[in-house]
A and B are shown apart, each in its own frame.
Chain A
């Protein structure tokens, strides 16, 4: 849509005066998230690398969730999906999400199975 930008982010918590301001605001937010990711990646606090949530390290959950948050703001504000009709937005967003979850689930479960075959299945590969 050419005009009529929605200027609120964080569900209306922050409201910008103009589209340009919103862009800089989103940049600041994305930079902050990237900085948090990089700092966590460098120091790797043990409280996050030694604990597991649903079979995955806590720190990896944090990384993946922060990535999805970044992806959300890139798509919603930079690709201005926020200003598009909800039907278009849903068609664009949910199609890949559904297919990716499906693909990732199948491939990772299969890979874990192969890992176990290599580990206990009398297959010699580490020589």
Chain B
């Protein structure tokens, strides 16, 4: 057969220069990166799901962990994180408006939309830092048992959480923080809690209005409240006071919750931070007219894809950390 005969179209097929996906090299590479990054985040969230299913009966309830709003006192679960979500979606919108203005070669509009996007990103990262700070600082304080379980305290009459400082006795003690200079030079310890275990135990025995709440979630979906007798028995198992959360201790409950919180929101926050940095670089490129001279604003489109991806990841983090 005359298979060696080449028609015009075949020449162009084999001659290169095709774009079967209709996307430029840069955009395709951005998509490659985003798909692999999506799988990284999925791995983290799936690992979070693994740990959560493993400790399904004792996992902390997010509504009770993230209850603070800056400048306001009181108990407002979800409000602040909803605000953060809205900020991120809003900055996504200004980003997509910047891309749209870029298609129309409107340098001024791109500049202002990029600026708004950067501001949104900074607000989001700042909010996340505040949320971390609040989480690390802690709320009411708790006791940790020998097995690493957390015992929290509740006022029997109102059902509200009781802070350690509300009922802890004040005992004379000369326990000081162990630093390298005043003890063994190869040991040091982190800051002592504001009250000692003995003070909490004594205060608990003296105040009959305080009950212990364990990590176990009952059938109503709430943490189990022990009665006074069981509380006193449980108190004997406590080994130390925990205030706030870090990678080793977590007053809100399972320490894995804190580990995953720091890891996943930290990794996401790092993405937002790098997105802000890249946005700033491109913002200045827009101002000095780099893309005007290049003839297209594809660079804005590419960073736009990244920025929306960060938003997309947050939507999932929001659901699996705060809602479900």
Contact = CB atoms under 8 A, between A and B. Distances in A.
A13 B3 CA distance: 49
B35 A96 contact: yes
Contacts of A110: 50
Interface stretch (B90-98, B242-250, B258-266, B278-286): B90-98
Q: B42, B54, B305 — which one has the most chain A CB atoms within 10 A of its CB?
A: B54
A100 B21 contact: no
Interface in A46-82: 49, 60, 63-64, 66-67, 70-71, 74-75, 77-80
Contact of A70 (B31, B53, B99, B315): B315
Contacts of B95: 78
Nearest to B48: A107
Contacts of B305: 79
B54 A67 contact: no
Interface in B1-52: 20-23, 28, 31, 34-35, 38-39, 42-43, 46-47, 49-52
Contacts of B100: 19-20, 23
Interface of A: 1-3, 19-20, 23-24, 27, 30-31, 34-35, 37-38, 41-42, 49, 60, 63-64, 66-67, 70-71, 74-75, 77-80, 84-85, 87-88, 91-92, 95-96, 99-100, 103-104, 107-108, 110-112, 114-115, 118, 124-127
B97 A20 contact: yes
Contacts of B230: none
Given A20-B100, A78-B92, A111-B54, 18 more contacts: A19-B100, A23-B96, A41-B77, A60-B323, A79-B308, A84-B22, A84-B23, A85-B22, A91-B21, A103-B43, A104-B46, A104-B49, A107-B46, A108-B46, A111-B51, A115-B57, A118-B54, A125-B147
Contacts of A111: 49-54
A85 B21 contact: yes
15 contacts: A3-B103, A20-B97, A20-B100, A23-B97, A31-B89, A41-B77, A41-B78, A60-B323, A74-B92, A78-B311, A85-B23, A108-B49, A111-B53, A114-B54, A127-B147
B141 to A, nearest CB: 21
Contact of B89 (A19, A20, A30, A125): A30
Nearest to A87: B21
Contacts of B316: 67, 71
B89 A127 contact: no
A37 B31 contact: no
A74 to B, nearest CB: 5
Pairs A-B, 3 closest by C-beta atoms: A111-B53, A127-B147, A88-B21
B21 A96 contact: no
B323 A41 contact: yes
B319 interface: yes
B39 A99 contact: yes
